[in-house]
Structure 1
Amino acid sequence: MNHRTLLRRTAAAGTVAALAVAPLVAGSSPATAAAAAPAAAHAAAPTTYPTPTHGATVDWFDAKYPALDKGSVFETVTFERFEYLLKKNTGKWAFVIGGPEDPYLQQTIGHIEKVAEAEGIEKIYNFDPNLDGEALSVFDLTGYDLESADNAGKDQFLDLGERLVTNYLGKDAETPFTLANDAAKPDRRVAPEHPYLFVYDAAGGDNARIVDALVTPPADLSSPAAVTAYENDVERVLTSTTLDVDTQWDFLSTEHNRRHYERYVKNADPATETANRKRFGGDVFKADEDLTDGDEDDFRVESITYPELLNILDSDGEFLVLFGGTWCHNTAAIIKQTAEYARRYGIKKVYNFDFSLDSTGNGGSLDKHIRDNAFRTVGGVSRKTRPAQLYGRILEKLANAKTQYKVLGEEPGTQSTSPVKYYVGGEEKLARKIQVGHLLSYDKDATEGGQPAPVRDQAIRSDWTNPDGGTFAGNVEYMTEVWFTQGKDATYDSADPDQLRGNVNVSTEVGQNALQNQRNFAKEAIDQIRDVVAGVAGGYDSTVAVTGAPTSVSVENPGSLTAQVQVETAFTGFYSDRTAGATLAPLTGNRTLGGSVEVQLDGTKIGEADVRPDRTAPIDVPLPALTAGDHTLRYVYGGGAGGRVLTSSTEQTLKVVAKTSATTLGAAPALTFGKSGTITATVSAGATGEVSLAGLPGGALTAQVQGGTATFTVPGTVPAGSYALTATYAGDGTYASSTSAPVTLTVGKALTISSAASASTPYGKAGAIKVTVSSPGGGPVPTGSVTLTGVGAAQTVTLTGGVATFALPRTLAVQRYSAKLVYGGSADRNGSQTQVSYTVTSIAPSKVAFAVTKKPTSKKAGAGRVTVTVPSGLAAATGPVTVTLKKGATTKTVKGTLAKGVVTVALPKLKKGTWKISVKYAGSTTYKAAASATTSLKVTK
């Protein structure tokens, strides 16, 4: 990577405004995608942004029109934006046609500005038909060095002008925007006289689009009367209707969203359209995410014309330039994030230039795309159809730009070549080809090693060696997609496999790897974009924090300065060790921050330590002889990440006292969880002040020295485990600080008691067993779970307030159960158990009934059915029944055994008369004995 050297300008640039981004700690070893940079690296956008103070800007009209000052009402439009405004369904716009090369516009533009300001006109849009600012006119290419044949070369450019007139500007019968019809001048498509100032109504239909216009510039503006007359004409035109404003946000967000939608999402079937949106991502820009309070003027990306780009490349200062157009899906993938980072880092402007001068694309037959060879084969003949010298002029200024496609042999590591051939004065020249979208920073006066280096930084994967020793040779532009940048922090989800996958087939592990590698490549791209933007803002801020350093030492024995320095910064250094779309398992990591921390004592360097991959620097430096009193320790981080991360420092006071102290920590008490205890530290006789006890969870304890000792109470809430405790005396005016040798504190698990009461319930009624787990040692209420076995199916219930209640079903069989309740313990509690009985008792059936199913006579036997009914949902009654038939002194009995609560019994022959019938149910283990009511049976024959 052609990283900038930022340190040289740190003092001048100042520091980057504070960002709402958590500091990152990045390691050096590659890891799986799951271990990529923390999510905080891409935190949500802040609700407020710093004031834009970084990055150079230019005012085109102030620079090119002597009659104008900065901040005029004029704004240039590219061909694409001009047509975008003309073809909108609504909107009324003021346009001025021409450029700085037009004497008539130089003569009149100051007067137009004066009238516009007086009338409160917000915006007049300026379209220059000369797309190169010189002679490449969409209206007239007479004499221009391009061929015209088979809809190539000149034809393509002149078709643009003809399209403007035919589709929009020539709709009104009275409007002098007309097509030329001069056989002697085939390279002219539009009549020479046309309005240069006009107001356009996009909703005017086919006969009322141009509301008012000025066609012929005034011949003379030398007199006050002529000026007044002309300004009156201008006022008439500009006030002919109420004018609208269409911002850069309106244009770029609308066109990127439209093209993305039409290319990847749009479908006649709503279900398919929804599925496409899931696969290919939603809108590129969303107003509720990408603007603050709807402030479209805070959108920092500005589309520019070719002459504006050249002016920028010739201007003083450092600029951010984004190459790419709305037609380019790879530009759509990064433009939103570029705009966002510009706001986060206080960048005033990102200039966006499209090599396709009409923004139709980069196809090989599109001569309006200047980043391609001047000659191409048309009709079997090699013809000069493309103004490639325009691209060559750009690359001559971007002398040290890194590109994937380079001129063969130009530099080491070239992995492919595809130069752009262009011609100047008949001489063939070659230029490296920049693929888009591509963000770079540019300063025409910058040098490196005594050589011009105007390209200060680029978002490009370039030559580097990863921390495991692998290398990548050459350059690769970040050609990624909207769905990959939108999903850069996502991982594959088998429950939602289509989410932001584009056309990647994720049905296999190989495809899932390819998707994740694409996302990692996109994440690397966005991080590189952030680095470029942050660089223009002066680099990433850093902070240093110091722990473990002594607060005081003695004159007698100052000893060593031992401390740990932590460097924090928003720079991630994220990289993917795979090519985009590679099918190998993802492998990612974070480039090391690097650099070192210098330790200064009272302004003199006494030591230095390198920053390790975890962004810490261990300090172990002998202290020199010191005088009593306060001294200043300063820890200075010199910056890192190839200059991307800025220097920072912090200071601490070191108190130097007369005597050395000694601190001893007594034996640790034997504790169990829930029980507190004390431990005592002893310090040198006569010492006063405070001692801190470190090593316990929850932070250090402090105690005052009294009579040479400091006593600490270890709370009963300390979890079970082993702890290395140290006591540190802070020192006083006489004694230096000191730290004891470590003492091990062991906290054992607390005993528990599980208790429950036996219970009984009748069959058919739900029951419960409640168990209470307590600890004799006190402390927090036990947590965890209890398991019940021996009563139906085993159950496990989580303790709530030390109690677990088990619900038992009403269908448990009648018997006496032995319930075993086992508490499994927890990290701080031992387990315990108890055993109680649970009894289910039998119940009476609901009813015993008898019904005659076949009436007996004196000559024939009969039959009857006994039914023993029980509550719904319970087991059916079983067991014997006895049916008694009685008339006078005569008694007969019939027996039967219930099956599922019913039995049919045979009735004997019975003499005439009335018989009394009763049934006795003998009961079972589940149901008690019972009898029916007495019924009558009259035998008549």
Structure 2
Amino acid sequence: MKWRKVLAGLASVVTAALVVQAVTAGPALADKDGSSTSLSLQSGTAFAGALDRDVMTVGVSAGNPSGDFVVGGGGKSLCSGSISGVATCTMTARALPPGTYTLVATYFGNEDTFPSSSGPVPLTVLLQPSTTSMQILDPFGSEVSGDPRLVFGQEQGYSFSAGVRGNVAGTPGGSMTITDTTASGTVTLCSGTLNSIGGLASCPLGASTLPVGTHQITATYFSDGVYVGSETSRTVTVVPVQSTTTTLTLSSPSVPFGSEQTEVLTARVTNAGGGTPTGTVTIRTGSTPICGFTLSGGTGHCSPSASLLRPGSYPLTATYNGDVTNTPSSDISKTLVVDKQPTTTVLTASADVIAFGSEDAELFTVEVVPAVSGTPTGNVTVKNGAVAVCTIILATGNGCFLRPTQLRVGSYQITATYNGDSTYAASTSLAQPVTVVEALIRKNADR
């Protein structure tokens, strides 16, 4: 019935045009040529909210086919123009709401040609497809990729941002909601009217907004009569804060001073929920940091710096500092012993044979060599068996001499014992043979 009304309206337009021509032209009307108007559409389908992608082609057959034309439908003038045989036109965006229409092209004629109208041509206007998108933003405004895991009670600062676009052209209007669906049902987190660019204002979460569990967050766009409704979903998992256990292991219970870097301290952090904790671990003795690391797969290791700790016994504390889903925890069960650094003592005698009474000519010198590094301090005792014969102070760099007649005639095994200090361990040299001879024999030997 609608197209009949359209045709009746267009017929009135044509009749009026003919009357005007009859009044102005008078007898010359008999000299006018008849005309025939045609209308064709590329496919007969258009999308609401978009320029008509189906081009309308109007053709006029007449002796002098010039003048104006209009294409009407739905009680509206959809497009118009001037023609010289054949012309095209397109209707403007939102010219017609979705529906089925009958279009008619009307040619208004000219001084030589009568007006005419085309036959009815059907046009279907469809709702335009739309696409809804949604982003999850962290408290810093950065987009969260994948399906995020949030901690119950710590959701505050996270938000959802949603928008919709027309798949052909234009910007949708209307409204949108963001809902949360769980096993217990669906609740609306926020809703509102789309702004001028097709977006919904940010939908923030408060602390404890989402209970522990799996949530399907859905942004739903409702059709505004021009665009088809659409929706999109993201999965969000909310977990409780997990308690953790930290376990510290040592590669060796003791390490020499200066070689602490060879000690490997390993910490493993587990939680009650079976997830993998992230974050950092710090290892201290008392308030002194020993070393630290970032967990990888729930574990990690580090070593002290060389010479960081003096020789002694050090109770260790490995502290996991926690992350957003895991509580801090510590292990205080281990102790690291730093031993004194081993040394090697080398004794040198100025002579291996001396004359009795001239022992003060015998000079003993020593070198104390640390196993790793540094400079040992303290003193060295030069001994004949268990009896000390002289002492060397390492700081002076000098040796020591025997006293005259200190040793009787005979053979001796002389050793040097480094007595150690707070850092370096004691050590004893290999025995150095020394022979004391009668002075006369020595003089005769000199001849």
Q: Give me the TM-score of the superposition, normalised by structure 1.
A: 0.22
Q: Normalized per residue, which structure has more strand?
A: 2
Q: Name which one, 1 or 2, has greater alpha-carbon Rg.
A: 2
Q: Give me the TM-score of the superposition, normalised by structure 2.
A: 0.44
Q: Normalized per residue, which structure has more helix?
A: 1
